A and B are shown apart, each in its own frame.
Chain A
Amino acid sequence: MISINKEPRFGLKSNWSAALELLAARPIVLMPFLVLALIQGLFLELLYFSSRRPLSFIADPLIRKFFGAGFTHYPAELILLPKLFAYASTLIYITAGIFLTAVCVEIIKRAKEDSSFDTGDIIRDNGKRYTTFLIYGVIATLAVYLAKRGNAFVFSLFYKLLASRLPEAVPGTVPAATTFFMPMALFLTIVVLHVFLLLVIPIIVIRGGTLWKAIVKSVSMGLRNFSYIFPLIIVPYLVYLPVFIMKANSARLAKLVFPEVILIITAAGIIVSMFVDCFVVICATEFLLKTTKKDS
């Protein structure tokens, strides 16, 4: 019998319930993502108040230069807020997000081993690998950027084909495409990308080794276990999907309701992603720990 070199399957339900149990029993695992949410929250506040004096003295010239003078006034500055927050989030993700994820993985590992630990030691240990995490942050950001461009390219190809074969169908489908299908497709693309990159940080923290080996190992594990990892992470990410779609349609919602709804949606995104990202990291770490245990 030919043996297929796949990692052993631990039920999805057992993985999820183990993650929930860990969160309930050792809520300290949420701490790194709480700190990340705090940093993001502070940045969001600064961006929200950047159109008012005295912050506007610094922010207005920059916004005028890169986005136009119209965006220095209400409510256009709120329409611009998600874009500015996305740039800030990218910076936060690269400089702190990956590092805090690594801290979370280490906490999960120590919690699973039932050993006592000092958070300060964990932060110091992972601090030694900060440059590695920084480089990985840049790589992951680039991968997401390419995925977004690829998504937009596929949609433009689809519409060119539709325009040549069924031109009368184009106007009717554009609203549904832009409000729902494109954000859905982008969401799925990013989840698929996560399947291959999700285990990089857990591998670096748990198994050690270089960044490049961790990326190769994560991609190969993602390929071999796609049918396990994809549902493992997409189900929790579906909790984030409504916020994702609302963020994609925030300008429309602002006109329908009131402009400050954009701030509320962005803040909700921070809170929801804090829990969802933590849960996904716990699930991924559980999977890797069990795989490592089986191998050893």
Chain B
Amino acid sequence: MKRFALYLASAILISFLVLFFLFTDKDYMAEKLFYRAKSTHSEIMKNPDATPPAMSVSVERDLQKIMRGHPDSELARHSYMALAEFYITEKRYEDAVAIIGAFLSEHEASGVSLLSKAYFLKGMAYEKKGEWHNAVKEYEILRDEYHHTPIGLQSALYIAQRCKGYGNMAETLKKYEDAIALYKRLCEENRGTMLGYSSSTYLIRSYIETEKYEEAGSIVEANIYDYPTPLVQAQQIPLIELIFVKKLKDADKAVKIYEYLIKNTEDAEFKKLLHNKIKRANEAKQQTTQ
């Protein structure tokens, strides 16, 4: 019996070893390296100033190994981005710009998602280096050529917000106007689609940040009619309260919208929420008239 047990245990072990050495898949090993590098990078980001040097070295080494060993693979392209993010975490901004430059020249046929991320990271590296004028150039490429990607779409508003942080009011207003113009165009061209709705949310935020509450309110109202889904309706509720009740002091308009939503929903919990909102809007109206 003991011998039988030993034979069985040996069979398992030998079969494991045989499979392990026979099935040495280079792509699988590269994925393991990539995961290890990303995990180590996540650990470094928790406390970047107190990282043992060996950890940083291992991240760079693993990612460069993937880029050298699998130059034409999708994983190698993601490794470029991961390495750029790592260099930014390590405050090696020159290296980040260099690696992204290498990626853009060698892999210009990559997918738009990776290319948009590359421009964003390049802009971020310049920004952290203190070269805002160079950063804006990259963000503007992102805004103009990749506005149909998630990163590209938000870049227009991002440029205006960052400008505000640097204190140049004239340039900030210009950037907000550019963002508003872009988002308005995208809303109209892509009405009824995901891109159209996403553009409208950024347009609302742009109007709110430039205190154009009437315009923001009209977009919110249009969204409720153009995108009659529970998720979109739920996302407009806090905006209705902010714009119509708090900023425009037009509680009647807010109540009208809430009543429209109550008529067009079957969800009892949502109806209860809307009744509460109507109550709060009427209370706010009474306080305003007093």
A residues contacting B by CB (< 8 A) are 27-28, 30-31, 34-35, 37-38, 41-42, 45-46, 49, 51-56, 73-75, 259
The closest CB in chain B to the CB of A37 belongs to: B8
A45 touches B8 (CB 8 A): no
B54 within 8 A of partner (CB): no
Shortest distance from the beta carbon of B270 to any chain A beta carbon, whole Å: 16
A54 to B15 CA separation, bound complex (whole angstroms):
16
Shortest distance from the beta carbon of B7 to any chain A beta carbon, whole Å: 9
Interface string of B1-40 (1 = CB under 8 A from A): 1101100100110011001100111011001100100000
CB-CB under 8 A for A41 and B12, given A27-B2, A31-B4, A73-B31: yes
Shortest distance from the beta carbon of B58 to any chain A beta carbon, whole Å: 14
Q: How many A-B residue pairs have CB under 8 A?
A: 47
Q: Binding site of B, secondary structure by majority: helix, strand, loop or mixed?
A: helix
A42 touches B1 (CB 8 A): no
Which chain A positions have C-beta within 8 A of B32?
A: 74-75
Query: 5 A-B Cβ contacts within 8 A?
Result: A31-B1, A31-B4, A41-B12, A45-B15, A56-B25
CB-CB under 8 A for A38 and B11, given A52-B23, A259-B35: yes
The one of A34, A46, A55, A56 that contacts B5, using a Cβ cutoff of 8 Å: A34
A74 to B35 CA separation, bound complex (whole angstroms):
8
A28 touches B1 (CB 8 A): yes
CB-CB under 8 A for A45 and B19, given A35-B8, A38-B8, A38-B11: yes
B23 touches A74 (CB 8 A): no
B35 touches A42 (CB 8 A): no
A54 touches B1 (CB 8 A): no
B19 touches A49 (CB 8 A): yes
CB-CB under 8 A for A45 and B16, given A52-B28, A74-B31: yes
Shortest distance from the beta carbon of A60 to any chain B beta carbon, whole Å: 11
A55 touches B23 (CB 8 A): yes
A34 touches B4 (CB 8 A): yes
A46 to B11 CA separation, bound complex (whole angstroms):
14
A53 to B19 CA separation, bound complex (whole angstroms):
11
The one of A27, A45, A52, A259 that contacts B12, using a Cβ cutoff of 8 Å: A45
CB-CB under 8 A for A27 and B1, given A49-B19, A52-B23: yes
A148 to B13 CA separation, bound complex (whole angstroms):
34
The closest CB in chain B to the CB of A27 belongs to: B1
Which chain A positions have C-beta within 8 A of B35?
A: 74-75, 259
